[in-house]
Structure 1
Amino acid sequence: MSQAVPAVHAEGIVKRFGPTVALDDVRLTVQPGESHALVGRNGAGKSTLVSVITGLHRADAGQVTFSGEPAPAFGDTAAWQSKVACVYQKSMVVPDLTVAENLFLNRFDSGGRWINWKGLRRRAADLLAEYGVEVDPNTRAKDLTVEQVQFVEIARALSFGAKLIILDEPTAQLDARGIQSLFAKLHDLQSQGVAFLFISHHLQEVYELCTAVTVYRDARHVLTAPVAELNKADLVSAMTGEKAAGASAWHAAPRPASEGTEPVLRTEALALEGEFDPLDIEVRPGEVLGIAGAAASGNTALGETLVGMRKATAGRVVVRGVTVKPGSVPHSLDAGIGYIPEDRHRQGLVLERSVAENATLTVADQLGPWGTVLPSRTREFAQAMISSLDIKTTGPEQKVSGLSGGNQQKVVVARALARKPSALVAVRPTAGVDVKSKDSLLGVVRRVADEGSAAVIISDELDDLRVCDRVIALFHGRVVAEYDSGWTDGELVAAMEGVGERA
């Protein structure tokens, strides 16, 4: 019996971004009608591979074929759309346009001078019916459910002739009913010969939906295997490079328990509807607590709720006995909460302003009498932070945009520490920085706790979490495991991916 021609076959793919090797001789094969999972930790190379096989990036080496034919020429967008499409976690539909308009965006006109709206709606209805998508073509996209939006995006991709659909974290915003509805639709489309490449941090879904799985680690291909022949422990081990029962790398040294000490930061039945269930958390003086979780776990939303960027729907946050006003960043600052945001460019910095101005944003009231801001005091304050955090800069007046990523992040940390917070909340504090800067930043968080405050690190990066005295794992908004220092990579990854047992 002859082997089917793969829907996509990538071999020997290499991609570099400057000195960084994002893909190192990787491969991937997806068969027609197959649902194939591509998994790996952050930085494994998954997103870069997707960008190569969708024509967004040109590989430095290797080749890609679709149904046995060479991939289209780089830059030929229409040809790539006829081969492959990606449905991203963040929807690409235009909310104020109808379903019909979104399906045929930039393809309204079939040759005439005017748009035939009646014909457009009929074409949309025929397309939706062909793939069994029960959505009214006249409905505006903003009025659809999340899974309906995904179905529309899949139908749009198929309308170009693509027989390979990449699903990037497709269940991240779906509830249980939506997930089952999506999976049922995918199975229907597979029976029509459509192949899916499924990228997810939720390994349980890999076992529910996929027949094959490929694992990348550190920009390299690790394994490809039938899902039915690979148990969960071995899959996690392939992702982490750690044997299922092996010891993990460096961790924070066990510290004396502070039982009986009043918590610096605590939550009481804190909840945010649609993000995380009621949580009771306590962080004591000298403690660094890790909140681990992958995409859609609710951990980022928890961090933003703790610091007042989101308003809890239930419960409360208490700092040193003071209840923090829900959804109020100023009150959170006054209560003693410092914040290192996930995205330093969007949430942490004013890039065209100086290091001094950025570092002192939260203490402008301390830089001069009667509400004034004295430049000399601003520079003096900033210089102290530059020295303390070893920020590599030409001086307080340098624009933040001229600093390296690691030094920009140190400026964000400086701003968070400027008010000498009682509790520091850091969301993925080392994202996008080099190894040396990563160690320095985590050392600062550790030092804050050692000086008697409390710290919370919210991340899915294992290196971030190793500095923690205790780690809580969230999955779909629920605490699924809790570990003292000394957890193994495998058990924490398994908990974050939804396949671990509660500790």
Structure 2
Amino acid sequence: MDGALPLLELTGATVRFGADAALDDVSFRMFPGEVHSLMGENGAGKSTLIKAITGVLPLDAGTLTLDGTPVRFAGPHDAQRAGISTVYQEVELLPNLSVAENVLLGREPRRHGVLSQRLMRERAREILLDLGLDLDPGSALGSHPVAVQQLVAIARAISTDVRVLVLDEPTSSLDLDEVAELFRVIRELSSRGVAILFVSHFLDQVYEICDRVTVLRDGHLVGEYLTRQLLRIDLVQKMLGRDVSDFKARRRVPVDDEPGTEAFLSARGIASAPDLTPVDVDLAEGEVVGVAGLLGSGRTALARALTGVSRLEAGIVRIEGTPVDLDSPRTAIQLGVVYSSENRLAEGILGELSVLENITLSVQAQRGVLRRMRPARQRELAQSWVEALGIRPADLDRPAGTLSGGNQQKVLLARLLALAPRVLVLDEPTRGIDVGAKVEIQNLVGELADNGLSVVFISAELEEVLRVGDRVAILREGRLVDTLPSAELTVDSLLALVASPDEQED
């Protein structure tokens, strides 16, 4: 980019909410044809900066220029007319309408004043094919997987004269093949001179697709760097503002080679249609078993089968050698087995309730409506977990939904740990949270295991699975391929096991 002029540039950008500055004298620039990452912990100012360049928030100070010309947007529509489009993590399209109707929504072609379905499908097909997407424009958007819907959202964004494309966590729900297809489209757009802002918590993806990275911390600019010149460990330290010694190593639990001999929880031949064929799982006391697999491999099905959320169709589970019937989550909880869903918002945190109410919810449910906890005891219990897990801000009366993703996850963990479980099953506990919060959650899992808690840890990030797990259970298409000590695996070797196609039988 040497010698090139920025396509978009923020200079001295400041955005205040009352007395607090969410952005404080921040400068940021994007060049034509580059893929640029914006990195920082939750609360660093990333969302505020994005809202400032897309017309959602006005600047209190500073200047935004486009092609060297100062601009001020009255709202997102002004930004879109200027060529700045955004595709959000949650696809904001209409699944009941066709692909063509979504691509051209609000800009439907007409003939003699009447909307023309034929022209709309033809125009949509041209836009899709221009991105290398061979889709039936007349098909219902909702009939396609999330990855395709994400690409349709991008097609809609570029169907106008887009110059800057903001992609906010576009890969959070995609598998490896779908990510590869998205990256193909991103590279195609960048080759045309479109500047792309790629926001993601996946460091490996940032390093694969991004040319440049800007780091924010606490609303201030830390710096702008060429990705190829910045080591990952240095990027993390710049984001956290502290030494990466916080990435603690933990002891590894030696597990007997004879399956089930020392297992606290042992599952044999458990199956749950249609996503889980009979598998065997052993979990020792104080052990962390990481679970790796692509989307649809059966990761979540295994978690739900082990915790009574999904009814077993076959197999048997033993706890300390005694057969148990995990017929419901309530039964599993009574046996000391608790589950944290990958869908933190829909099946975890109750955003409108306070931190105190969220933490004490499971204990009160276990006691029943006739044995209400005293308010003083509720506060004492909740406060102890806020302090133990470092939940910030430490305000028991604050609605949990207003906390950052990492702190919401800590509140959910506090609710489960308040039940004094023996087995903790975590499905994607660090999805969508920043690097600093990930480190804290990972270290917390290690500390819990060191204190005797058995943990099943599911993550799409293979590096995280290897770091946290003593052993790794590898799933593919609902089958358990193997369970191996994490010390014997690398990210590359684990990726090969996770993604290898099944061998065809003769």
TM band (smaller chain): 0.5 to 0.7
Give the structure 2 partner of residue 238 of structure 1: 235
Give the structure 2 partner of residue 334 of structure 1: 334
For 1:378, give the aligned amino acid.
R
Is the contact between residue 340 and residue 429 of structure 1 (CA under 8 Å) also seen in structure 2?
no
Give the structure 1 partner of residue 217 of structure 2: 218
Give the structure 2 partner of residue 387 of structure 1: 380
- Output the CA distance in 2 between the equivalents of 1:22 and 1:202: 23
User: How far does the alpha carbon of each residue in 1:371-399 deviate from its partner, in whole angstroms, 9 at most, with x for none?
Assistant: xx42xx2235x654543443799xxxxxx
- Output the CA distance in 1 between the equivalents of 2:355 and 2:207: 50
Give the structure 2 partner of residue 378 of structure 1: 372
Give the structure 2 partner of residue 93 of structure 1: 93
Residue 177 of structure 1, CA deviation: 3.7
- Output the CA distance in 2 between the equivalents of 1:195 and 1:429: 29
- Output the CA distance in 2 between the equivalents of 1:27 and 1:191: 25
3-state SS of 1:165 partner: strand
For 1:216, give the aligned amino acid.
V
User: How far does the alpha carbon of each residue in 1:59-111 deviate from its partner, in whole angstroms, 9 at most, with x for none?
Assistant: 44333222223344232524435421222333222111101110122333769
- Output the CA distance in 2 between the equivalents of 1:317 and 1:251: 33
Is the contact between residue 7 and residue 66 of structure 2 (CA under 8 Å) also seen in structure 1?
yes
User: How far does the alpha carbon of each residue in 1:115-141 deviate from its partner, in whole angstroms, 9 at most, with x for none?
Assistant: 333333333234334554422221111
- Output the CA distance in 2 between the equivalents of 1:136 and 1:256: 52
Residue 248, structure 1, aligned to residue 229, structure 2:
no
Alignment of 1:163-182 (within 5 A): 163-182=163-182
Unaligned runs of 5+ in 1: 368-372, 394-399, 484-491, 499-503
For 2:348, give the aligned amino acid.
Q
Residue 431 of structure 1, CA deviation: 10
Residue 5, structure 1, aligned to residue 5, structure 2:
yes
Is the contact between residue 316 and residue 324 of structure 2 (CA under 8 Å) also seen in structure 1?
yes
Alignment of 1:405-420 (within 5 A): 405=400, 416=416, 419-420=419-420
CA-atom RMSD, angstroms?
5.7
- Output the CA distance in 2 between the equivalents of 1:455 and 1:249: 21
For 2:77, give the aligned amino acid.
T
3-state SS of 1:379 partner: coil
For 2:58, give the aligned amino acid.
R
Is the contact between residue 39 and residue 214 of structure 2 (CA under 8 Å) also seen in structure 1?
yes
Give the structure 1 partner of residue 360 of structure 2: 359
- Assess, with a 3 A threshold, how the Cα gap between structure 1 residues 365 and 250 changes in structure 2: closer, same or farther: closer
Give the structure 2 partner of residue 396 of structure 1: none
Is the contact between residue 324 and residue 331 of structure 1 (CA under 8 Å) also seen in structure 2?
no
- Assess, with a 3 A threshold, how the Cα gap between structure 1 residues 297 and 158 changes in structure 2: closer, same or farther: same
User: How far does the alpha carbon of each residue in 1:45-65 deviate from its partner, in whole angstroms, 9 at most, with x for none?
Assistant: 433332322222334433322
For 2:372, give the aligned amino acid.
T
3-state SS of 1:102 partner: helix
Greater CA drift, 383-392 or 265-274: 265-274
- Output the CA distance in 2 between the equivalents of 1:41 and 1:297: 29
Alignment of 1:73-112 (within 5 A): 73-75=73-75, 77-108=77-108
- Assess, with a 3 A threshold, how the Cα gap between structure 1 residues 89 and 300 changes in structure 2: closer, same or farther: farther
Residue 216 of structure 1, CA deviation: 1.4
Give the structure 2 partner of residue 160 of structure 1: 160
- Output the CA distance in 1 between the equivalents of 2:136 and 2:432: 42
Residue 238 of structure 1, CA deviation: 2.0
For 2:416, give the aligned amino acid.
A
- Output the CA distance in 2 between the equivalents of 1:129 and 1:358: 50
User: How far does the alpha carbon of each residue in 1:175-196 deviate from its partner, in whole angstroms, 9 at most, with x for none?
Assistant: 4443333333333333322222
For 2:108, give the aligned amino acid.
F
Is the contact between residue 103 and residue 155 of structure 2 (CA under 8 Å) also seen in structure 1?
yes
Q: What is the TM-score when the length of structure 1 is the normalising length?
A: 0.67
Is the contact between residue 33 and residue 196 of structure 2 (CA under 8 Å) also seen in structure 1?
yes
Residue 259 of structure 1, CA deviation: 7.5
Greater CA drift, 158-167 or 41-50: 41-50
- Output the CA distance in 2 between the equivalents of 1:366 and 1:51: 45
Give the structure 1 partner of residue 122 of structure 2: 122
Is the contact between residue 305 and residue 327 of structure 1 (CA under 8 Å) also seen in structure 2?
no
3-state SS of 2:373 partner: helix
- Assess, with a 3 A threshold, how the Cα gap between structure 1 residues 100 and 258 changes in structure 2: closer, same or farther: closer
Give the structure 2 partner of residue 422 of structure 1: 422
- Output the CA distance in 2 between the equivalents of 1:267 and 1:256: 19
- Assess, with a 3 A threshold, how the Cα gap between structure 1 residues 445 and 95 changes in structure 2: closer, same or farther: same
Give the structure 1 partner of residue 57 of structure 2: 57
Aligned-residue identity in percent: 29
- Assess, with a 3 A threshold, how the Cα gap between structure 1 residues 169 and 449 changes in structure 2: closer, same or farther: same
- Assess, with a 3 A threshold, how the Cα gap between structure 1 residues 403 and 196 changes in structure 2: closer, same or farther: closer
User: How far does the alpha carbon of each residue in 1:353-382 deviate from its partner, in whole angstroms, 9 at most, with x for none?
Assistant: 997898365665754xxxxx42xx2235x6
Residue 151, structure 1, aligned to residue 151, structure 2:
yes
For 2:215, give the aligned amino acid.
Y
Give the structure 2 partner of residue 68 of structure 1: 68
- Assess, with a 3 A threshold, how the Cα gap between structure 1 residues 149 and 71 changes in structure 2: closer, same or farther: farther
What is the number of residues matched between the two proteins?
462
- Assess, with a 3 A threshold, how the Cα gap between structure 1 residues 248 and 69 changes in structure 2: closer, same or farther: same
Give the structure 1 partner of residue 48 of structure 2: 48
Give the structure 2 partner of residue 347 of structure 1: 348
Residue 290 of structure 1, CA deviation: 8.8
3-state SS of 2:115 partner: coil
- Assess, with a 3 A threshold, how the Cα gap between structure 1 residues 351 and 129 changes in structure 2: closer, same or farther: closer
User: How far does the alpha carbon of each residue in 1:257-314 deviate from its partner, in whole angstroms, 9 at most, with x for none?
Assistant: 79899443466799999999999876544x3749699x98999947666544467999
For 1:93, give the aligned amino acid.
L
Is the contact between residue 13 and residue 59 of structure 2 (CA under 8 Å) also seen in structure 1?
yes
Is the contact between residue 30 and residue 36 of structure 1 (CA under 8 Å) also seen in structure 2?
yes
User: How far does the alpha carbon of each residue in 1:236-255 deviate from its partner, in whole angstroms, 9 at most, with x for none?
Assistant: 32223499xx7613858869
Residue 200, structure 1, aligned to residue 200, structure 2:
yes
Is the contact between residue 11 and residue 63 of structure 2 (CA under 8 Å) also seen in structure 1?
yes
- Output the CA distance in 1 between the equivalents of 2:193 and 2:5: 12
- Assess, with a 3 A threshold, how the Cα gap between structure 1 residues 195 and 459 changes in structure 2: closer, same or farther: same
- Assess, with a 3 A threshold, how the Cα gap between structure 1 residues 218 and 101 changes in structure 2: closer, same or farther: same
Is the contact between residue 135 and residue 148 of structure 1 (CA under 8 Å) also seen in structure 2?
no
Alignment of 1:288-303 (within 5 A): 289=288, 301=300
- Output the CA distance in 1 between the equivalents of 2:322 and 2:309: 18
Is the contact between residue 449 and residue 455 of structure 1 (CA under 8 Å) also seen in structure 2?
no
- Output the CA distance in 2 between the equivalents of 1:40 and 1:357: 27
- Output the CA distance in 2 between the equivalents of 1:249 and 1:18: 33
